[in-house]
Amino acid sequence: MSAPALELEGVRKRYGSTRALDGLSFQVQRGSITGLIGPNGAGKTTCFGVVGGLLSPDEGRVDVLGMGAFDPLKAAGRLGLLPQDCELPRHTRVQTYLRYLARLQGASTRDAALQTDRVLDQVALQDRRDSRISELSHGMRRRVAVGQALLASPELILLDEPTSGLDPRLVAQMRDLLVAQRARGASLLVSSHMLAELEAVCDHVVFMEAGRATRSGPLAEVTGRARIVHFVLAHPPELAALRDKLPELQARYEGNTLRVSLPTESSPAELNDRILAALLALDAGVLEVRPGESLETVYLSD
Amino acid sequence: MGILRDVAIVAGHELGEALRSRRVLILALLYLGGAVAGTFILIEVLAGLEAMLAQTLAVAASERPGTFTQELMSSAEAQRFLAEVLDDAELAAELVTIPPLALFYGWMVINFCPALVMLTSSEAVATDLATGAARFSLVRTPRLSFSVGKLVGQAALMAVSVMAGAVGVWVTGYFQFEGFAPGPTALWMLALCGRGFVYCLAYVGIAIGLSHLTRSVPWSRALGLITLGITGMLWGIAHLDRVQEAAGPAVRALVPLLPRAHQTDLWRPDLLDRLPALVMLCALCVIYFALGYRFRARRDA
């Protein structure tokens, strides 16, 4: 198994008397998308700053791409970062600024132009390449900011609230963009308050609270996709009738949704088939089968 | 090599940004306008003096001022007078060989450019820290190359502005000053541009150093102006007779830390005599820049 793309171990960072990070530990596996979830003030932005080398941790170990702490001279272009609440320079034209940043991470003038073209395609801003940043809407500026993190096709991409201020169509485009980055082998760490969006793209999640990871793991495990199945039914039958057919069933109703906990020793696929067969036999009218809890439900109940 | 490349890229971007935001244009116009206005005022004053003198001597005054001034400048009396004022016969002999308008230009650069530098360069880093834009660069290049790039960019901006001022004085002199020697004046101006540039470089170092101290743009501007005022005051105090008598060697050793302590030496005819001042001014640029940089380097970006 290859080393993780990013590993934090016992990282602490204080601002005066405030503990922004208080022993934060988690990993981002190579070729995966990890969602970083937590309330405002949990330390997510500080975490991004520490990983990107913008902030110095007081204690702990940060290992970026197996090279230790991030050093822009040694790893130019291998890490892309979208920091939160950073304004792009207002007077600069979009392509001029992206080319400058590409050059700064080692690209030749020609490569910088090519990278800029590719990124402008990815964030759908080709038609605004010659616009000054001050002429762009908030959403467009956000896309330029995301685009700069994708220059040079970095191996590790850190995105702090990439969908903030984007309309639903652009959020969907952003989701496709993240998936495409993973498909080419990049590892991503993404923070967002839009949990449904994270759930749609993430392989792993990390819950943060008061500067530390309170829970982390594969999304399927955290949301219980292998252990819980929801059947949304048009005509929910009596539980007793179901248990007559499946005596080992552990289930309860939440409205017209049957929530089934699968025993760990059984094969989920086989059991699901049997439950589905029983529901069809009882004419329950199965409208939807949903594995696991929603990320939002898990997060809010944590 | 990587750091030098990054410095060049940041400096180029800084200059480009100034061009795009029309800051260069405004600065060049400011220097050009100031130079033209200053030269006009000088020529008007000289015209008045020459007319008055012509009337006293009952000779015909020339249509454009300049002839009498140049005669006066090259006279032994003027040289003697200057030698007494400056307490330096060698320097006085050099000054009277400089075309009058080139001399005026050199005086203007040394006396007015530092204020403009402190006004415009002291926000260079603070602006990027305030908006957070610095973070886009700092994830790609070390802090040192980013800060040095800013310094180099601002120095280049100042060089463009100083040159614009020279053009303003030269063009005004060409059309308004009798007996204007275009070639020698241009050559002298070029030489004084270089000396003025090195002199102002020390102030660029101070301004960029100060720019590292705060994330607030208004504060960084205020710090620039306050520092300019303080250095001026310290220079004035250091020249009071009573202070000079009372000051110990340690205090006297601190005076060279003020850029103004080296301005007289910039006029010396021999390069070897000017060299210590030029080196010291470059060193002051590095020292003040390094102090500010060190303050920021130990803090989060």
Chain B residues with CB under 8 Å of A54 CB are: 135, 138-139, 300-301
Q: Cβ of B20 and A96 within 8 Å?
A: yes
- Helix (H) or strand (E) run with residue B9 in it: helix B2-20
Residue A80 Cα, gap to closest chain B Cα (Å): 8
Domain A6-219: give its CATH code: 3.40.50.300
**Which residues, 6 or more positions from A191, have their beta carbon under 8 angstroms from its beta carbon?**
A35, A36, A37, A38, A44, A45, A48, A159, A160, A161
Q: What is the DSSP string of A33-84?
A: EEEEE--TTSSHHHHHHHHTTSS--SEEEEEETTSSS--TTTSTTTEEEE-T
pLDDT digits (tens, 9 = 90+) for A29-73: 999 999 999 999 999 999 999 999 999 999 999 999 999 999 988
pLDDT, chain A, mean: 92
Per-residue pLDDT of B132-188, as tens digits, reads 999 999 999 999 999 999 999 999 999 988 998 899 889 988 888 877 888 999 999
How many beta carbons lie within 10 A of that of residue B97, not counting itself?
Answer: 13
Name the domain count of chain B.
1
A179-206 mean pLDDT: 94
As a whole number of angstroms, the distance between CA A205 and CA A217 comes to: 6
Q: How far is CA A285 from the centre of its chain?
A: 35
Q: How far apart, in whole angstroms, are the C-alpha atoms of residue B194 and residue B106?
A: 10
The pLDDT tens digits of the residues spanning B20-71 come to 777 777 877 888 888 888 888 888 888 787 777 777 766 666 666 666 777 7
**Element holding B61 (H helix, E strand):** none
Determine contact: B269 vs chain A, CB below 8 A.
no
pLDDT at B44: 82
Q: Is A22 exposed, middle or buried (0-12, 13-18, 19+ CB in 10 A)?
A: middle
Question: Per residue in A235-280, pLDDT tens?
Answer: 999 999 988 888 888 889 999 999 988 776 667 777 788 889 999 9
**Mutation to test the A interface, candidates B15, B139, B144, most A Cβ within 10 Å:** B139
A88 and B301 in contact by Cβ < 8 A? Answer: no
Residue-wise pLDDT tens digits, B195-228: 999 999 999 999 999 999 999 999 999 999 999 9
Fill in the DSSP letter of residue B256. G
Q: Which H or E run includes B230?
A: helix B217-238
Q: Span A84-111, mean pLDDT?
A: 93
The pLDDT value recorded for residue B290 is 97
The C-alpha atoms of residue B169 and residue B102 are separated, in whole angstroms, by 8
Q: How close A35 comes to chain B (CA, Å)?
A: 21
pLDDT in the model for residue A269: 76
Q: Would you state the pLDDT for residue B60? A: 66
Complex ipTM above 0.90? no
How much is the pLDDT for B66? Answer: 66
CB count in 10 Å sphere of residue A269: 9
- The first and second tokens of residue A94, run together, are 């979009």
Identify the pLDDT of residue B252: 75
Residue A160 backbone dihedrals phi, psi, to 5 degrees? -95, 105
**Quick check: A299 pLDDT over 80?**
yes
> What pLDDT is stored for residue A256 in this prediction?
93
Q: Which one-letter DSSP state was computed for residue A205? A: E
What average pLDDT does this structure show over A187-197?
Answer: 93
What per-residue confidence (pLDDT) applies to B301? 65
Q: Domain limits at B12?
A: 2-44+100-297
DSSP B76-133: HHHHHHHHHHHT-HHHHHHHTTS-HHHHHHHHHHHHHHHHHHHHHHTTHHHHHHHHST
Counting residues of chain B whose pLDDT is more than 90, the rounded percentage is: 47
**Structure tokens given for A252:** 């309860």
> Looking at beta carbons, which residues of chain A come within 8 Å of B19?
none
Q: What is the mean pLDDT of chain B?
A: 87
Phi, psi of B197 (to 5 degrees): -60, -45
Q: From the CA of B123, how many Å to the nearest CA of chain A?
A: 14
The one-letter amino acid code at A172 reads A
DSSP A167: -
Give the span between the Cα atoms of A50 and A62, in whole angstroms. 8
Q: What is the pLDDT of residue B39?
A: 84
Domain ranges in chain A are: 6-219, 228-301
The residue-averaged pLDDT of A67-95 equals 91
**φ, ψ dihedrals at A230, nearest 5°:** -110, 130
Is the distance from CB of A46 to CB of A62 less than 8 angstroms?
Answer: no
Tell me what pLDDT residue A1 has: 58
Candidate from A86-90, A284-288, B295-299 with smallest mean pLDDT: B295-299
Tell which residue, A30, A29, A26, A34, has the closest CA to residue A9: A26
Which are the contacts of A166, defined by CB distance < 8 A and separation ≥ 6? A139, A142, A143, A174
**A89 to A142, A212, B49, B134, B232: CA distances (angstroms):** 13, 33, 52, 10, 34
User: Following DSSP, what letter does each residue of B270-283 receive, concatenated?
Assistant: SHHHHHHHHHHHHH
What distance in Å separates residue A131's CA from the closest CA in chain B?
12
Residue A258 carries which side chain, given as an amino acid letter? L
Chain A residues with CB-CB distance to B301 below 8 A? 49, 54-55
CA dihedral A229, A235, A241, A245 (to 10 degrees): -50
Of the candidates A103, A81, A100, the residue with the CA atom closest to the CA atom of residue A91: A100
Second CATH level (architecture) for the domain A228-301 = 2-Layer Sandwich (3.30)
Question: What pLDDT is recorded for position B28?
Answer: 77
Interface test with A, best of B10, B20, B136 (most A CBs within 10 A): B136
Test the B interface: residue of A14, A87, A100, A158 with most B CBs within 10 Å = A100
Q: Are B285 and B147 spatial neighbours (Cβ–Cβ below 8 Å)?
A: no
